[in-house]
Amino acid sequence: MQSLHPLPMQLASKPFTVEKARSAGLTRSRLRRNDVAHVGRGLYRPSTWDFDLEDAARALSEATPGAWISHITAARLRNSWLPAWLSDSVELHLSKPKALPGARRKGIHGHRVLVGPGEVEFVDGIWLSTRARTWLDMARMLPLHDLVAMGDELIRLPRPGLEGREQPYACLDSLRAMVARHPNFQGVVRARQALDLMRVGADSPPETFLRLAMLDANLPEPELQLSLRPDDPRSPSADLAFRRRRVAIQYDGAHHLQEPQRLSDRRRDKAFEAAGWSVIILDKADLDDRFTTAVKGIKRVLKKSAVDPAAASGFATA
């Protein structure tokens, strides 16, 4: 029996195109051996390969000139926020200009779309939609509040020391301009609605969902990332707040359970309380409740502060 030569190292751990196989010296008969699986036109993978979204997307991009990775796949590759039902998706979405034939590959979600200048880019060997264009593509898939949360993530101001960037991924004006370029896009109405609800200052999706729950309950719109002492760069801030009513609302996510952060949070809350503010602290239990109970509590505190502006009492929900 003829011995089986192992795959070259550069092909042994991830999907590869037929062009890469030829460059590595593999013949068509070698590609028909049991250690190689034919994925689709011009695409192969090692038969023992464990699925990896980035490797799969890179090979698909290489094998499909003129196309780009889009929709859920692009969002996942960029670690963009997605709702839980999509956050672990292994779907592969591939877009092409309408002028080209549609993508017809087994297991691939193909899209033929109109795309404007600057809406597709080449990142780490993969052609994929920009973050802004990915947000627009998701407008046909996501409910309104989820689309707002994804958009708020795009326009929030980063913390340079923590995130290694100084500018937001996009701004509202540029997103509005992109939406205006695609008036017939499926999902454009929802995208416009989301733009009207998006705000700079939401540091996490739960903060977005809390703000939207408050608006749905006909509460006044809160300020975001409000500094207790605006002229002091070291001043503590509130995630959401009503300055005239002296009501500060904090959403404490999972990282707030760590002891150093807990100490910082206590100092933050005491500073607001010492200045005569009511402090409302919310957490994941409130998120799981869709902030229904929390909004009722906020209403009570706002009503009390309207009657007695000097009142300052702590308020917490489980």
| All domains of the chain in start order, with CATH | 1-50 (no CATH), 53-200 (no CATH), 202-318 (3.40.960.10)
What is the distance, to the nearest Å, from the Cα of residue 69 to the centroid of all Cα atoms in its chain? 16
What tokens were used for 48?
């023992």
193-247 pLDDT, tens digit each:
999 999 999 999 999 999 999 999 999 999 999 999 999 989 999 999 999 999 9
- Residue 3 has what pLDDT? 46
**In terms of DSSP H, where are the helices of 93-228?**
131-137, 144-155, 160-163, 172-180, 188-197, 205-216
Task: From residue 193, give the alpha-carbon distance in Å to each of 146, 173, 197, 282.
Answer: 12, 14, 7, 27
26 touches 38 (CB < 8 A) = no
* Amino acid found at 272: F
pLDDT band at 170 (very low <50, low <70, confident <90, very high): very high
Across the range 55-80, mean pLDDT stands at: 94
Cα angle: 283, vertex 203, 200; to 5 degrees:
135
Question: Which residues lie across from 224 on neighbouring strands?
Answer: 240
Check whether 314 has a pLDDT greater than 50. Answer: no
Closest Cα partner for 225 from 201, 256, 204? 201
- Residue 45 has what pLDDT? 82
Check whether 261 has a pLDDT greater than 80. Answer: no
Least confident of 13-22, 70-79, 201-210, 238-247: 13-22
pLDDT band at 259 (very low <50, low <70, confident <90, very high): low
Query: What whole-number distance in Å separates Cα of residue 65 and Cα of residue 39?
Result: 17
